[in-house]
Amino acid sequence: MSTTVRQYSSSTSLKGFGGLGGGSSRLSSVRVGGGGYRAPSVHGGSGSYSVSSRIVSGLGSGYGGSYCSSVGGGLGGGFGGSYGAGFGAGFGGGFGGGFGGGDGILPAGEKETMQNLNDRLAVYLDKVRALEEANTDLEVKIREWYKKQGPGPDRDYSPYYRTIEELRNKILAANVENANIVLQIDNARLAADDFRTKFETEQALRLSVEADINGLRRVLDELTLARADLEMQIENLKEELAYLKKNHEEEMNALRGQVGGEISVEMDAAPGIDLTKILAEMREQYESLADKNRRDAEQWFFSKTEELNREVAINTEQLQSGKTEITELRRTIQSLEIDLQSQLST
């Protein structure tokens, strides 16, 4: 904000007291400015108004003539006469000028001009006072606003730090527990794989034992059939033996009858064949052969039967132990699966 009073010049020439005098006064430029309003800073500073003036030239000579100029401060202004006039204004600065005539008498035009300048100066000072009051109110409002909007007192965050530290410790403990659970799950999975491998091995062994048992059952069936066949052969041989005995007795009876009815004429004839002895020898040989075959067959049958019974007993024991191990493995697998499910659910 600036106010400039353009050039004002006047000249007067007065004669009196036997002397010539003249004077002139030139108010070349009066500038009220500097004239910037500066906004308050964050620290509550205020703006400033400055008034600068430049008074150029005063020259005079004569009897009782004088020119004067004054720069005054203070919230006010004035106008004075008697060989001079002065006016001033102050708000951080001021300016003034003087004008006078030798005999203190100003022309009418100059008086009107000075009066006009004085009025304009008064209006300007009123505006300055109003702006100063508005500036003061604005500074007060700005300070109040900064007091309300400014940062409050520092808060104590130490409880939050303790809570954060506790939560961090809990998170670390949870991570460690999670790692332990993952390790336990891996161990349980490895144990389950091991038991599964054992189960598959035992199952394959069980299948092979069952296949062996089925093969032994077929052998037992074959041996049973062979035994029945041998028993039938023995029965047939017994029947044949009885038939041969009967025929032999009949032939012997017939020969005895023939021998008893005949009379031997030739005394020196060769001795006849003793059929009874021959038949007895044949019977003995046949019976011994039959007994030998029967004993061999019975011995072979009994040995095979005993061997099969031993194998069946051994395989039955192995099968029972395999079934027991399979049952235990199934229970172990079920318990491990239950533990695994519980670990996964948690």
pLDDT for position 130? 95
Q: How confident is the model at residue 231 (pLDDT cuts 50, 70, 90)?
A: confident
pLDDT for position 163? 92
At residue 338, what are phi and psi to the nearest 5 degrees? -65, -45
Q: How confident is the model at residue 296 (pLDDT cuts 50, 70, 90)?
A: confident
pLDDT for position 299? 85
Q: What is the pLDDT of residues 175-199, one digit of tens each?
A: 999 999 999 999 999 999 988 898 8
Residue 279 has pLDDT above 50, yes or no: yes
Which uninterrupted H or E stretch holds 312? Answer: helix 275-345
How far apart (Å, rounded) are the C-alpha atoms in residues 28 and 39? Answer: 32
Q: What is the pLDDT of residues 145-180, one digit of tens each?
A: 888 876 666 677 788 899 999 999 999 999 999 999
- pLDDT above 90 as % of the chain: 16
Is the model more confident about 144 or about 256?
A: 144
pLDDT for position 107? 63
Residue 16 has pLDDT above 50, yes or no: no
Residue 99 has pLDDT above 80, yes or no: no
**If you count them, how many residues does the chain have?**
346
Q: What is the pLDDT of residues 100-120, one digit of tens each?
A: 444 445 566 888 899 999 999
The whole-number average pLDDT for the span 73-83 is 36
Which tokens go with 29?
């430029």
Residue 233 has pLDDT above 90, yes or no: no
Q: What is the pLDDT of residues 21-55, one digit of tens each?
A: 333 333 333 333 334 334 333 333 333 333 333 33
Give the CA diameter of the chain: 247
Which tokens go with 122?
């008064």
Its sign, for the CA torsion 91, 97, 103, 104, is negative
At residue 4, what are phi and psi to the nearest 5 degrees? -120, 125
The answer to whether 66 and 60 are in contact (CB under 8 A) is yes
Q: How confident is the model at residue 124 (pLDDT cuts 50, 70, 90)?
A: very high
pLDDT for position 174? 95
At residue 46, what are phi and psi to the nearest 5 degrees? -120, 165
Residue 201 has pLDDT above 50, yes or no: yes
How far apart (Å, rounded) are the C-alpha atoms in residues 284 and 244? Answer: 13
pLDDT for position 52? 36
Which tokens go with 173?
């403990």
How far apart (Å, rounded) are the C-alpha atoms in residues 85 and 68? Answer: 7
The answer to whether 97 and 86 are in contact (CB under 8 A) is yes
Q: Beta strands 30-32 and 3-5: pairing type?
A: antiparallel
The winner for highest mean pLDDT among 4-8, 52-56, 104-108, 342-346 is: 342-346
List of residues 6+ apart from 295 with CB closer than 8 A? none
**Distance linking the first and last C-alpha atoms of the chain:** 79
List of residues 6+ apart from 216 with CB closer than 8 A? 308, 311, 312, 315
Q: Where are the alpha helices (DSSP H) in the chain?
A: 108-149, 158-261, 275-345
Residue 260 has pLDDT above 70, yes or no: no
List of residues 6+ apart from 146 with CB closer than 8 A? 42, 44
The whole-number average pLDDT for the span 307-325 is 81
The answer to whether 1 and 131 are in contact (CB under 8 A) is yes
pTM over 0.85: no
Enter the DSSP assignment of 31: E
How far apart (Å, rounded) are the C-alpha atoms in residues 190 and 192? Answer: 5
The whole-number average pLDDT for the span 251-279 is 65
The whole-number average pLDDT for the span 89-109 is 45
Its sign, for the CA torsion 127, 128, 131, 137, is negative
Within a 13 Å sphere around the CA of 143, how many CA atoms are in the beta-carbon half? 10
Cβ count near 319 (within 10 Å) = 17
